[in-house]
Amino acid sequence: MAQSFAYRAPRSQDELVDILASEESVRLLAGGTDLFVEMRNGLTRPNLVVDLKRVEGFGEISWDPGTGLRIGPGVTINQLIADPAVAEHYPLLASCGHDLASHQIRNRATVIGNIVNASPCADMAPGLLCSQASAVIRSARGERIVPLSEFFTGVKRTVLERDEVLAHVQVPAQTADARGGYRKHKRIKGHDLGIVGVAVWKKDGDLRLGISSAAPKPLVIDGLSEDSAVDEVVATVAAAISPIDDVRCTADYRAHMVSVFTARLLQEVA
């Protein structure tokens, strides 16, 4: 049965946060690729759906040599992939985006929607975590900045409060122009959720890895050196993950593929 709900489409951030402060049962709409599925399956029944697409500035992606990359809530995956600054300065993010679903879904799905949905298998999370991105969060109470490494709290859970919106993701300039790569393992050659995802990021002797589908939330493993032995890094990653058995594969297979992808990427990303 179709759900009945109210609909609002604010045009400014101030109008948006005022709505969030005054309403209890609200869901935010950006691309809708997750929200509409949840509503159709009866997993969520909001009284109000707030469309973010008309909010000024929310559809913008911009690059500044001093502050880095700014990604608004309305920026789609394909918009990110096609952006010249992303291709030049953050190619790892484009690689993660290419592996997300189909071209048609990428035309609708947003970068921030993929993050806020907080699935353990979120494709954009490994690259953004490796790039030390931060979530800039707004409400009627003000603004706060949370490192993405602290944003996820569990399966489908984040630090966002009921009256807050992730106003943009900021990727620092210091992590631009790195070398990196992303590998995603699926059950089929076509479009599918990842069994595991591994990103490797290298710059100025530093090494970071982003892992998806191997713990209750996406993980980043840092504090490593490019000079670290492959076996040492693989062991560090293996100790950090906590994979589960599910309908897609076993925990042992997940752990094995994380180790395989980690070793391959360390050798491929020179």
CB 124 within 8 A of CB 34: no
Tell me how far apart the alpha carbons of residues 225 and 197 are, in angstroms, rounded to a whole number.
Answer: 21
Would the pLDDT of 190 be above 80?
A: no
Spell out the alpha helix ranges (H) of 23-102: 35-40, 77-82, 84-89, 91-98
- CB atoms near residue 226 (< 10 Å): 15
Q: What percent of the chain has pLDDT over 70?
A: 99
Q: How far is CA 22 from the centre of its chain?
A: 28
Confidence of residue 2 (pLDDT cuts 50, 70, 90): low
Residue range 13-31: mean pLDDT, rounded: 96
Q: What is the mean pLDDT of the chain?
A: 96
User: At 29, is the secondary structure helix, strand, or coil?
Assistant: strand
Q: What is the pLDDT of residues 204-261, one digit of tens each?
A: 999 999 999 999 999 999 999 999 999 999 999 999 999 999 988 999 999 999 999 9
- Residue 99's pLDDT is 87
Q: What percent of the chain has pLDDT over 90?
A: 92
Confidence of residue 45 (pLDDT cuts 50, 70, 90): very high
The reported pTM is 0.95
Whose CA is closest to 80, among 63, 93, 66? Answer: 93
Whose CA is closest to 107, among 204, 194, 33? Answer: 33
Burial (CB count <10 Å: 0-12, 13-18, 19+), residue 43: exposed
Query: Structural domains in the chain?
Result: 6-51 (3.30.43), 61-174 (3.30.465.10), 177-268 (3.30.390.50)
Tell me how far apart the alpha carbons of residues 16 and 137 are, in angstroms, rounded to a whole number.
Answer: 12
Least confident piece of the model among 80-94, 99-113, 223-237: 99-113
Confidence of residue 93 (pLDDT cuts 50, 70, 90): very high
- Looking at residue 174, what DSSP letter applies? G
Tell me how far apart the alpha carbons of residues 85 and 81 are, in angstroms, rounded to a whole number.
Answer: 10
Residue identified by tokens 């070793």 is 263
Confidence of residue 189 (pLDDT cuts 50, 70, 90): confident
Q: What is the pLDDT of residues 131-188, one digit of tens each?
A: 999 999 999 999 999 999 999 999 999 999 999 999 999 999 999 999 999 999 988 7
- Residue 187's pLDDT is 81
Would the pLDDT of 1 be above 80?
A: no
- Residue 149's pLDDT is 98
User: At 166, is the secondary structure helix, strand, or coil?
Assistant: strand
- Residue 101's pLDDT is 86
Tell me how far apart the alpha carbons of residues 131 and 97 are, in angstroms, rounded to a whole number.
Answer: 14
